[in-house]
Amino acid sequence: MRSFDELSAAEIAAGVAAGDFSAEEVARASLDAIEAREPSIHAFLQVTEELALERARELDRARAAGEKLPPLAGVPLAVKDNMNLIGSRTTCGSRMLEDYESPYTATCVARMVEAGCLPVAKANMDEFAFGSSTETSYFGKTANPWDVERVPGGSSGGSAAAVAAGEVTLALGSDTGGSIRQPASFCGVVGLKPTYGAVSRYGVVAFGSSLDQVGPFGRRVEDVALAMNALVGPGRDPLDSTSQDCPVDFLEHLEDGVRGLRIGVVSELVEARGVSAEVKAVVYAAARALQDQGAELVEVALPHIEDSIAAYYVIGPCEAFSNLARFDGVRYGYQEPGCATLAEQSEKSRAKGFGAEAKRRQMLGAYLLSSGVYDRYYYKAQQARTLITRSYANAFEKADVLLLPSSPRTAFKFGEISDPTEMYASDLCTISSNIAGNGSISVPAGLGRETGLPVAVQLQGPAFKDRRLLTFARAVERAFEGECAVAPAFAGKGGELA
């Protein structure tokens, strides 16, 4: 007997195509693993069993008829709960959308299902993606599979935890300021934030429209490359005006190696205040490992990187205030009963439908966009964004990719950080990539010496050079092969294939 969590996405798809096991058997193995592991993790808000089994049976019928199967046939997939999927609820982790039924399927989800994935579940998240720990979800927190007393990161914590616990093979998350890379780091999995525009955001509930990007989680770099091939699809999505055509095969140069390529070590972030000693040690170990594989290490400077958090926490709340204004307690979403007027209904519905962090960000956005304040803050933040983007352009003239931490520290305990500003600092190493719009990936690089918890390194590349990022990520993976996979407490627990 073999547990399906021992298999990569490529191995599952090959096994289904060869008839070693059926897609339905994989679906049931994933559902069995969820039943066994989910009580400890709470990665999901809804298990979409019938959708998964229906897709599995379609694939099995296609194979029986001699048809060629798609590249991810039979691979179990979790979807962050801010992405619409017909037949499921899309709650965004909020009371405001507790009973909201998806009216259509997001392009990113549809492309993964078309590629053969089995939509197994909707993953827990910080409310409307406002958070770095998945503690702000109205439906309860998600635990880190490496230590259930610790957070999985956020806001895509459910997606990262589900992959790390071996409940699914792939998961989709969204990243506005680090919400894929930081939980990937905490949970010891691979997480890619593609270049802004590489993946369609149609059907994804918006937080910050100029910052949001959808990306995949996997336990292997190859799995993430396969997912990217599905996500970029046949070309740009006409339903998303920011969507761009990315006509590349993300598997094509995965094993090319890094000999002769340049890696810029971002000392400002490696040595920044708040970055733990064990994180620094892992970043420098990764730099040496890449150098041993033939890469050249170069020093680069990002002189405006310290402005990223300030710029982000102006731009993000302003865009969130605009995007969440639609949840007015009248058209859809939570509606407070017994109100005499529409104004009262809207006021009370929003007061009770949103949690504390969602209110905080919207109120901050409303203030920053108000008369007399806009010029002092929002306009300045956009100027800072231009400077940050120029800093990256200058850095990429010297280096092919940049190397830095994914997170300043390993996963912290529940309730350990209660100050919102301290929580915001969790995104120190990731926000600048969203500000500039370039691609970034978090890759596991071992366990911390002091905590024994997963530590990752982050690689950042120029816009629309995400395939190159994956080549470097694979080089890191080779250097630290087997350091992080399914969390030991959950490996092989349920989910066996014959």
pLDDT band at 399 (very low <50, low <70, confident <90, very high): very high
Side-chain-facing half-sphere of 362: CA atoms under 13 Å: 19
Residues forming the active site: 80, 155, 179
pLDDT of residue 1: 59
Residues 6 or more apart whose CB falls under 8 angstroms from that of 468 comprise 253, 400, 401, 461
Asked if residue 329 and residue 191 are part of one domain, the reply reads no
Q: State whether 463 and 331 are in the same domain.
A: no
Residues 37 and 171 in one domain: yes
C-alpha span between 340 and 348 (Å, rounded): 11
pLDDT of residue 236: 94
How confident is the model at residue 494, as a pLDDT? 80
| Inside any domain, residue 121 | yes
Write a three-state SS string for the chain: CEEHHHCCHHHHHHHHHHCCCCHHHHHHHHHHHHHHHHHHHCCEEEECHHHHHHHHHHHHHHHHCCCCCCCCCCCEEEEECCECCCCCECCCCCHHHCCCECCCCCHHHHHHHHCCCEEEEEECCCHHHCCCCCCCCCCCCCCECCECCECCCCCCHHHHHHHHCCCCCEEEEEECCCCCHHHHHHHCCEEEECCCCCCCCCCECCCCCCCCEEEEEECCHHHHHHHHHHHHCCCCCCCCCCCCCCCCCCCCCCCCCCCCCEEEEEHHHHCCCCCCHHHHHHHHHHHHHHHHCCCEEEEECCCCHHHHHHHHHHHHHHHHHHHHHHCCCCCCCCCCCCCCCHHHHHHHHHHHHCCHHHHHHHHHHHHHCCCCCHHHHHHHHHHHHHHHHHHHHHHHHHCCEEEEECCCCCCCECCCCCCHHHHHHHHCCCHHHHHHCCCEEEEEEEECCCCCCEEEEEEECCCCCHHHHHHHHHHHHHHCCCCCCCCCCCCCCCCEEC
Question: Do 170 and 135 belong to one domain?
Answer: yes
Is 418 contained in some domain? yes
- The least confident of 7-11, 132-136, 288-292, 326-330 is 326-330
Residue 155 sits in the same domain as residue 233: yes
User: Which two tokens mark 408?
Assistant: 């300043």
pLDDT on residue 340:
93
Structural tokens at position 411: 């996963």
Of 442, 456, 444, the C-alpha closest to 409 is 456
The answer on 97 and 189 residing in a single domain is yes
Structural domain contains residue 255: yes
Q: What is the share, in percent, of the chain residues with pLDDT greater than 70? A: 99
Whether residue 493 has pLDDT greater than 80: no
Specify if 14 maps to a domain. yes
Same domain, 236 and 352: no
Model pLDDT for residues 92-138, shown as the tens digit of each residue: 999 999 999 999 999 999 999 999 999 999 999 999 999 999 999 99
Q: Same domain for 11 and 143? A: yes
Residues 452 and 232 sit within 8 Å (Cβ to Cβ): no
Report pLDDT for 313.
Answer: 95
Residues 330 and 417 both lie in one domain: no
In a domain, 302, yes or no: no
**Sequence letter at residue 317:** P
User: What's the confidence (pLDDT) of residue 492?
Assistant: 74
Which residue(s) pair with 83 in the sheet?
A: 204
Find out whether 213 and 196 touch, Cβ atoms under 8 Å.
yes
Residue 177 above 80 pLDDT? yes
Residue 363 lies in a domain: yes
Q: How many domains does the chain have?
A: 2
Per-residue pLDDT tens digits for 40-78: 999 999 999 999 999 999 999 999 999 999 999 999 999
For residue 76, give the nearest of 187, 168, 143 by alpha carbon: 168
Structure confidence at residue 157 as a pLDDT band (50, 70, 90) = very high
Write down the residue that tokens 């009216």 correspond to: 103
pLDDT (0 to 100) of residue 413: 97
Q: What is the C-alpha separation between 384 and 379, in angstroms, rounded?
A: 9
CA distance 445 to 480: 6
Domain CATH code at residue 33:
3.90.1300.10
- What's the pLDDT at 487? 86
User: Is residue 79, in this structure, part of any structural domain at all?
Assistant: yes
479 contacts 456 by C-beta, under 8 angstroms: no
Over 70: is that where the pLDDT of 498 sits? no
- Structural domain range at position 423: 2-265+398-497
The confidence score (pLDDT) of residue 405 equals 97
pLDDT at residue 140 greater than cutoff 70: yes
Could you give the CA distance from residue 481 to residue 192 in angstroms, rounded to a whole number?
18
Residue 262: name the closest of 121, 403, 467 by CA. 403
Residue 170 has pLDDT above 90, yes or no: yes
Q: Is the pLDDT of residue 311 over 80?
A: yes
Look at residue 321 and tell me whether its pLDDT is greater than 90.
Answer: yes
In this prediction, residue 162 carries a pLDDT of 98
| Per-residue confidence (pLDDT) for residue 483, from 0 to 100 | 63
**Do 311 and 455 belong together in one domain?**
no
For the segment 467-495, the average pLDDT, to the nearest whole number, is 87
**426-474 pLDDT, tens digit each:** 888 999 999 999 999 999 999 999 999 999 999 999 999 999 999 999 9
* Averaged pLDDT for residues 193-219: 98
- How many angstroms separate the CA atoms of 74 and 119, rounded? 10
* 156 & 194 share domain: yes
Mean per-residue pLDDT over the chain, rounded: 95
Is the distance from CB of 41 to CB of 142 less than 8 angstroms? yes
Distance CA 387, CA 454 (A): 33
Q: Average pLDDT, stretch 224-240?
A: 96
Say if 292 falls within a structural domain: no
How much is the average pLDDT of 273-301?
96
Predicted local distance difference test score (pLDDT) of residue 460: 98
316 plus 261 within the same structural domain = no
230 HSE (CA, 13 A, CB side) = 31
The two structure tokens encoding residue 245 = 């055509």
Query: Measured at the alpha carbon of residue 191, what is the angle toward residues 306 and 229, in degrees to the nearest 5?
Result: 120
As a whole number of angstroms, the distance between CA 165 and CA 424 comes to 26
> How buried is 454 (Cβ within 10 angstroms: 0-12 exposed, 13-18 middle, 19+ buried)?
buried
What is the per-residue pLDDT across 14-41, written as a single tens digit (0 to 9) for each? 999 999 999 999 999 999 999 999 999 9
